[in-house]
Structure 1
Amino acid sequence: MRLTGWLFALLFTALCGGNVAASEIIRLTVAQNPDAGFRSIQQAINSLPDNDIQAIIQIGPGIYREKLYLTRNKVALIGSGADNTEIRIAELRTNWLKQHPSDWGAAVVNINAADIALLNLSIVNSYGELTGDNEHQFAVRGFEQATRIITANCRIIAGGADTLSLWNKTDGMYYHDNCYFEGHTDMVCPRGWAFFSNSTFVNKKAYATLWHDGELDARQKLVVRDSSFDGVPGFMLGRRHYDGQFYLINNRYSANMADKPLFRHTYPEEPSRNRANLWGDRYYFSHQNPAQAIYPWLSANLASHPQQLTAEHITALWTFDNRWDPEQQLQTLLNSIKE
């Protein structure tokens, strides 16, 4: 197996007494041929040393029928293109929980680490496609330590609810660019801070597409800009159960979208289930073309924000309150691939 990068990293660590230069990178290869470093993505992940060296795992074309578990920080999984590299498993959350104590393992990609990048690949939970059962089935599930997660040039698909579920509600930060998301109710449902750009959302159910939990910090927000929303007739834009904050900037909305504003979900018959609503409705819209506001409630209102924001203010760096620059981090990764 071609473990040159890994062995060099270990040797460098030993010689330097554990102080590894930031420029060092572990490079591994996964492919479906005998000459590859690894045939399994998880085997490549498991081979990584327990240190803070950036690891890049490049994955060749093919369908990889395996679940992934990411618990080591600074790992980038880089496919050969979303049309060429696919990670696919069929798993229903309810079935998983019948035999396991938690969601850990209920998703195709399970993340409990920081600085994880998923690039140029597809992640598919095919349970709904195979069975017609459209209940909760994760493609990607993030846990308590999942933060600074990047997806770019990906297709993330599930046959049911909660396709992309990054759920570190304390300090979770997530960046997504040029991705395709498909699922059912609450198909994209971040907790914490999330930024989406240049992406496509396709909802297969006549209910909510977006969902946000920002109850622990008034600064937490969900931003979607320069993207498009489509789905079955009557699909809705989004909802929240918790305090949340939505910024929808220069997006395109299909005529299939219901005339239903973003809303807070409550339980009139069980008030004890209702979550706090400390900061009220915070739904902000801006459009380059007024025709993008296909319903009155979509009308541009960003100028009414207490900070007098404009669309130009709504960047990834602003979304994360200047604590994380994912675009710079992504560019550094892409430059590393070319080296």
Structure 2
Amino acid sequence: MKKRFLLYFCLLITYFGLQAATPPIGSEPSKVLYVDKTRPSAFKTIQAAIDASSQFKSAIILIGPGLYQEKLYITRNNLSLVGSSLSDTRIEYAQLRNNWREQHDSDWGAAVINIAGSDINIVNLTVTNNYGRLHNTHDHQFAIRGFENATRIILHQCDISADGADTLSLWNKDNGLYYHSYCSFTGATDMVCPRGTALIEHSTFFNLKQTATLWHDGERDPEQKLVVANSTFDGVKNFWLGRHHYDAQFYLFNNQFSKNLADKAIFKKTYKDASRNRNNYYGDRYYFYANQSPMDFPWLATNITQAQHTQFTEPSLEQWVFKNNWQPSKVLSELQQEIQNQQFKSKPFTL
């Protein structure tokens, strides 16, 4: 009996010891991989590091200075790509969407960065599709394309540019959530065109053509919205602010618009062929607060009350936009903490 008790006691001690030594799911630190063309032990391409990260639940890829002329394919979740700074770490590739689709059935591969995973963070990087400047066209050319199931995508301190339409295309209609801060965006028609819900803060937009800068698809849920705050808009003379083909919801708070902005309000695109037009279930939803422009356009004037704006922004704009279901600022803070102890020089995050 005594021996049996001792055996039972030892088993209990072993069991609880193992429980204490095994971290709960999700608490393991991310695996850190390095990409550096000058470091012998590092990966030489970003895609090679992404492929090697597949065995880890969460991974951070630190990318050293240099020009990386490659396409990226992200099919995993929980991945962070962090460069040294947007001026030092650049990803560049020339690809026209129409050329790609001539030999492929889908857009998978038509962008510089192709994303089919969730919880993806891209920080301190420049991403450029330079097809247009090489071939003198403003046709569709993605810098970043997110696919149907990709959600919770963060861009922070990035320069995202293309020489044509649909520069940043994150297209998860059902439940896409996106956060972009301290970024610059350059492109042409519908250059920033999220499907789902997006918050963009402290960023700059430059439109290369007399077409829409912003585009939104919020057809699947009346709560889906595109919110741009504390940002600046510029472009060629008479560039447009925005448009949509599907139901959409635009909020613009405390932004600066240049004198080149056209006197053209956000609008729903319709066609003479009525069969091509989408239903407008929720009506026109374009909301403005405290924006500044040298041009006194009536449609750009504040059309919500201060009380409504306070409701949206307190305790934070982020909480209102994502309904407390996602905290991208917390994600960025935790990511910065994880890389602080690495032997890697990265521009500090502005949080």
In 1, the alpha carbon distance for the partners of 2:256 and 2:163 equals 24
Aligned ranges 1:94-243 → 2 under 5 Å: 94-243=98-247
In 2, the alpha carbon distance for the partners of 1:94 and 1:193 equals 27
Give how far 1:320 is off.
1.1
Larger Cα-atom Rg: 2
In 1, the alpha carbon distance for the partners of 2:198 and 2:295 equals 23
Q: Quick check: 2:291–2:302 contact (8 Å CA) kept in 1?
A: no
Aligned ranges 1:65-84 → 2 under 5 Å: 65-84=69-88
Equivalent residue, structure 1, for 2:300: 298
Give how far 1:107 is off.
0.1
Q: Quick check: 1:135–1:161 contact (8 Å CA) kept in 2?
A: yes
Equivalent residue, structure 2, for 1:312: 313
Give how far 1:292 is off.
6.7
TM-score relative to the length of structure 2: 0.87
Q: Quick check: 2:234–2:257 contact (8 Å CA) kept in 1?
A: yes
Gap regions ≥5 residues in structure 1: 1-15
TM-score relative to the length of structure 1: 0.90
Is 2:351 the counterpart of 1:335?
A: no
Partner amino acid, structure 2, of 1:334 = Q
In 1, the alpha carbon distance for the partners of 2:39 and 2:248 equals 49
* 3-state SS, counterpart of residue 139 of structure 1: strand
Q: Quick check: 1:251–1:292 contact (8 Å CA) kept in 2?
A: no
Q: Quick check: 2:31–2:56 contact (8 Å CA) kept in 1?
A: no
Tell me the alpha carbon deviations over residues 228-286 of structure 1, each in whole angstroms, 9 at most, x when there is no partner.
Answer: 0000001000001100000000000000000000101111x200110010110110111
Partner amino acid, structure 2, of 1:301 = N
In 2, the alpha carbon distance for the partners of 1:93 and 1:294 equals 38
Aligned ranges 1:205-284 → 2 under 5 Å: 205-267=209-271, 269-284=272-287
In 2, the alpha carbon distance for the partners of 1:74 and 1:142 equals 15
What is the root-mean-square deviation in Å for CA atoms of aligned residues? 1.8
CA 1:241–1:18: 2 relative to 1, 3 Å: same
Equivalent residue, structure 2, for 1:5: none
CA 1:17–1:282: 2 relative to 1, 3 Å: same
Give how far 1:218 is off.
0.1
Tell me the alpha carbon deviations over residues 53-72 of structure 1, each in whole angstroms, 9 at most, x when there is no partner.
Answer: x2110000110000000111
